[in-house]
Structure 1
Amino acid sequence: MVSKSKIKVQKETAPQPVTSESSSPSTNSVKYSQSGGLVALLARLNISVAFTSYQSGLLYMLGRNNQGAHLHQTGIPKPMGLSFDANGTLSLSSGYQLMTFHNPLAAHERVNTLFDACFVPRDVHVTGQLDAHDVGVASNGDLIFVNTQFNCLATTDPKHSFRMLWKPDFVSALVKEDRCHLNGLAMENGEPVYVTAVSKSDTIDGWRDRRSDGGIVIDVKKNKVICNGLSMPHSPRVHNGELWVLNSGTGELGVIEGAASGKGKFVPRVFCPGFARGLAFHGDLAFVGLSKPRYERFEGLPLDEKLKAADSEPWCGIQIIDIKRGTCVEWFRIDGAVAELYDVEILPGIACPMALSPTSPEIMNFLTWEGSSLPPIS
């Protein structure tokens, strides 16, 4: 059953920014729907879900209340990668900034009698436009992010836009040329272990000619390509001892078998009807972000033929996959002007979250301190 009427959508009063990808869509032209068991699943697992769309310029937080599903939207310039760590810190890469959000609410505190978490950007690092994609947190607390424009992994620097940590061996120079379209980052035990790229190209924008089958997975420590022949792979994640990857150009969620040997093979586990990008796990469930292949960079991929063979149309939203059975158990769908998502993250122990933008009017008067009793945000 689809429960459109039970999704309450709430947005900050701050103006929605216009991103470099497209004009910001009107919220009146966007429709949300959900599977009948989604709210019950979130309640049973005691989680909520954060996801981003650079197209809409919004950080979304999907939670629940007594009336059903609740979707909070926060205006952020080109929000991309998300990472939620064991300390309860939410990290985000965006158009020209890296942000670290903290939730100052005590367990008994609520904002507007509704939100049991309010993520506030306490650390904002200005990088400039690096086209930063996935982001992670190192064991020492440093942010590590995929610097796509410069084809490398990087961290913040007090003086410069970034400090390079690592780059693929096949990239000959550190220059502002998106050569291989490095995008995905898998962290394990506070260290970067795998990355994905659309190609091994070493010329500016060379990856665009290799979208169908030039995709690779790289072992960061060995600086070695361990899997070839993918189609625009994204979102590598290590889960339960396996390396999972979204082969976006085919719409498949799968694993890289033999990754440790250096001769990995992508084995698809399930097909999802869209350009799959954004992946988070909770137990035996995979939360997969889907986008419509609407723009030129997504067209002409194997996904087109797979959709035709399945007699299916692509859609935008999140599918929740039982990885043991390889089936979709619940879903959240977006129709209308918003057609592309980037990343997905799980927020454990939180029922109904919200976030504040660094430029929102509300953040100026949202003051907290140790032992404080929070005033409401109206």
Structure 2
Amino acid sequence: MSQHSADTPPQHPLRSVFTSNLPAILTQLGISLAVSTYQAGHVILVRAEPDGGLNTHFRSFHKPMGIAHNPRNGSLSIGGANTVWTYRNVPAVAPKVEPQGRHDAAYLPRQIHITGDIDIHEMAYDADGQLWVVNTRFCTLCTLDPDHSFNPVWRPHFVTALAPEDRCHLNGLCMVNGRPAYVTALGETDTPGGWRENKKDGGILMDVAQNRVLLRGLSMPHSPRLYNNQLWLLESGEGSLALVDLPNRTWHTITKLPGFTRGIDFVGPLAFIGLSQVRESAVFSGIPLVERLEERVCGVWVVNIQTGETVAFLRFEEGVQEIFAVQVLPARYPDLLEWNDPLVMTSYVVPDAALADVPPPLKSSSV
């Protein structure tokens, strides 16, 4: 196991340790991870160093939670307290990022959308490039457009009004064939905060197209995902990864982990799962995880989904207690450029037709 300090200003003590094989896993797969922690106010890029070490690169956001990546055009969106920030990978900028020659992706800020306080949870892009947002405060799946805070498209049949009351704590979103297919919620309830009364095992999985409940009795479910033609979810209240058996309307625990499981992405036989310590508060009291483990950890665990075994992990020891999203990025060493970065000021993306009017000396260095 190795230990290091984060790539972040000294006023933020954000120490972590990791298994020595984690950098090699990321390198072999050609990936990095984007991890959000709303409690610490950061998006963390987890990147393997050329020397075999691990780098945790922190960027500050206001309560970042959902992260959505669109591989079709390199968009990366981050949902915050009242904002969705959208970035775009501009590969020609990457070699210019310091230290020059190390980065293979550079995400430049492109748009800010103000939603108001809707308690954004998971987000995902559909086949048409439209971003879908889980609007937890209003218990709805919504899209975004320039004229509105949000456009409510779907909500559970049992939620009878569009009101900012977090009636069922809608939280997780699974896309299938580029369309919203499944969601998770912490309760089948229609009163303000009603899900809190039975959080231990009141969680549900729903079919979006049919607007019906498929599973009941889940313990704080999050992060439903279809992978390898199988439907997975995190039963956060158990601290577990579960495989859903839709024909029999049940689920099977694949493994239990030492934290509140929330946020997952897959590559090959591996699942990258976010773990949170969870606060000692009324929200998390009485759930099986807290009863099972007196001490819980925060980090990213790498699990072999075929065996349920933990093969590697990154554990935060100080400064970060809660993780929301874990998103695999198809780059070994990306950067997320800040709004005032000089490269953002001097990098111009124009339509191909406009490049004909750019003088050759500028075109050779233009993006």
Aligned pairs for 1:54-65 (under 5 A) are 54-65=38-49
- 1:170 and 2:162 matched: no
**Aligned to 1:284, which of 255, 262, 269?**
269
**Aligned to 2:222, which of 229, 234, 257?**
234
What is the deviation of 1:266? Answer: 1.9
Deviates more, 1:84-93 or 1:270-279: 84-93
| Structure 2 residue aligned with 1:85 | 70
Q: Tell me, what secondary structure is at the counterpart of 2:328?
A: strand
| Structure 2 residue aligned with 1:101 | 87
Residue identity matched to 1:50: A
C-alpha distance after superposition, 1:188-220 (max 9, x if no partner): 221000000000110001111121010000000
**Aligned to 2:365, which of 328, 351, 373?**
373
Aligned pairs for 1:146-161 (under 5 A) are 146-161=134-149
**Aligned to 1:316, which of 292, 298, 319?**
298
Aligned pairs for 1:1-378 (under 5 A) are 2-5=1-4, 9-11=6-8, 26-28=11-13, 30-67=14-51, 68-87=53-72, 88-106=74-92, 109-112=95-98, 113=100, 114-258=102-246, 261=247, 264-296=249-281, 297-307=283-293, 313-348=295-330, 350-358=331-339, 360=340, 362=342, 365-369=345-349, 373=365
Q: Answer yes or no: is the 8 Å Cα contact 2:19–2:312 preserved in 1.
A: yes
Q: Answer yes or no: is the 8 Å Cα contact 1:109–1:374 preserved in 2.
A: no
Cα pair distance change 1:50/1:108, threshold 3 Å = closer
C-alpha distance after superposition, 1:260-282 (max 9, x if no partner): x4x52121100010000000000
Q: Answer yes or no: is the 8 Å Cα contact 2:93–2:343 preserved in 1.
A: no
CA RMSD of aligned residues (A): 2.0
TM-score by length of 1: 0.88
Cα pair distance change 1:107/1:189, threshold 3 Å = farther
Q: Which runs of 5+ in 2 are unaligned?
A: 351-362
What is the deviation of 1:123? Answer: 1.9
Residue identity matched to 2:336: A
C-alpha distance after superposition, 1:72-130 (max 9, x if no partner): 11111111111222222212211111122111123972411132222112122111111
C-alpha distance after superposition, 1:313-367 (max 9, x if no partner): 310000000011110001101012310010000012x111111344x45575352
Cα pair distance change 1:115/1:205, threshold 3 Å = same
Q: Answer yes or no: is the 8 Å Cα contact 2:94–2:106 preserved in 1.
A: no
Q: What is the distance in 2 between the residues matched to 1:372 and 1:167?
A: 50
- Structure 1 outlier segments of 4+, above 4 Å: 360-364
Taking only the aligned residue pairs, the percentage that are identical comes to 39
Q: Answer yes or no: is the 8 Å Cα contact 1:62–1:353 preserved in 2.
A: no
Q: Answer yes or no: is the 8 Å Cα contact 2:70–2:129 preserved in 1.
A: no
TM-score by length of 2: 0.90
| Structure 2 residue aligned with 1:18 | none
